[in-house]
Amino acid sequence: MSLLSVQNLDKRFGGLHAVKDVSLDVQKGDILGILGPNGAGKTTLYNLLTGFIKPDNGEVLLEGQSLLGLPPHKVVGLGVARTFQLCRPFVGLSVLENVMVGSLGPRVPAVDLTKRARHLLAQVGLAGKEDSPAELLSYGDQRRLEIARALATEPRLLLLDEPFAGLGSGEIAALSELIRDLHKNQGLTILLIEHKLREFMQLVSHVVAIDFGQVIATGSPSEIVKNPKVIEAYIGRQDADHAA
């Protein structure tokens, strides 16, 4: 059984068909990439999976248990955590307090939450910044804080939404290593959206490519980069270019 099974997921916003009959499976211990140009429906798909919006049709199953109709905090309580395209620290709270908030869910063991939060911050490279106001962190450190806060919920599945957005090359390399460590050394199952294609392809083991809300290709990174439909989605039809 897949850890996450998405079946025929569909969502419209008025005349916009944002997600069209999307099906995919995430195997336990995998790192699956969701690839697509801007406006393809990737973040809408994440919002459907995590309870921020409700689909019109389809099913989302976490080890056979339906997530449909559950609010985001219930989805997190079952083991699905996420980060966002734009960092959303809890303003007015310290870095440590931000992570401790994530530790209040039902999956977290009854331990010293302060000690646990400090451990998670050290794990993501924020040791020594525990007492800083979260909103004053650099953008790269806010990305790390988002991951630490998600990890604090004890997820079975972590959804990362463009974690490299706004980062420099050095920050991207360091964050790539963190994601690789979470996956390979700690066995965390990860679903990843990212536009930095070189880093994306180096991290993921399997790719689902979507365009205009629907799946256009699936396969390994080497297969996806050669797929004509994926190439067309990113650079357009050659005949259309010539016609212009």
Confirm if 79 and 154 have CB atoms less than 8 A apart.
Answer: yes
Shared domain check, 175 and 239: yes
Shared domain check, 99 and 203: no
Shared domain check, 159 and 73: yes
Single-letter residue type at 85: Q
Confirm if 126 and 145 have CB atoms less than 8 A apart.
Answer: yes
User: Which pLDDT tens digit goes with each residue over 22-46?
Assistant: 999 999 999 999 999 988 999 999 9
Number of domains the chain contains? 2
Shared domain check, 238 and 210: yes
Residue 149 lies in a domain: yes
- The domain in which residue 169 lies consists of 4-79+155-243
Of 118, 133, 154, the last residue of a domain is 154
User: Which pLDDT tens digit goes with each residue over 153-173?
Assistant: 999 999 999 999 989 999 999
> Closest Cα to residue 82, out of 104, 107, 52?
52
Q: For the chain, where are the alpha helices, taking DSSP H only?
A: 42-49, 72-77, 95-102, 113-123, 139-151, 169-184, 197-203, 221-224, 228-235, 238-243
Shared domain check, 187 and 75: yes
Radius of gyration of the chain (CA): 18
Shared domain check, 194 and 123: no
Tens digits of pLDDT across the chain (244 residues): 799 999 999 999 999 999 999 999 999 999 999 999 988 999 999 999 999 999 999 999 999 999 999 999 999 999 999 999 888 899 999 999 999 998 888 888 777 889 999 999 999 999 999 999 999 999 999 999 999 999 999 999 999 999 999 899 999 999 999 999 999 888 899 999 998 889 999 999 999 999 999 999 999 999 999 999 999 988 764 443 433 3
pTM: 0.91
Helix (H) or strand (E) holding 31: strand 31-35
Residue 62: which CATH number? 3.40.50.300
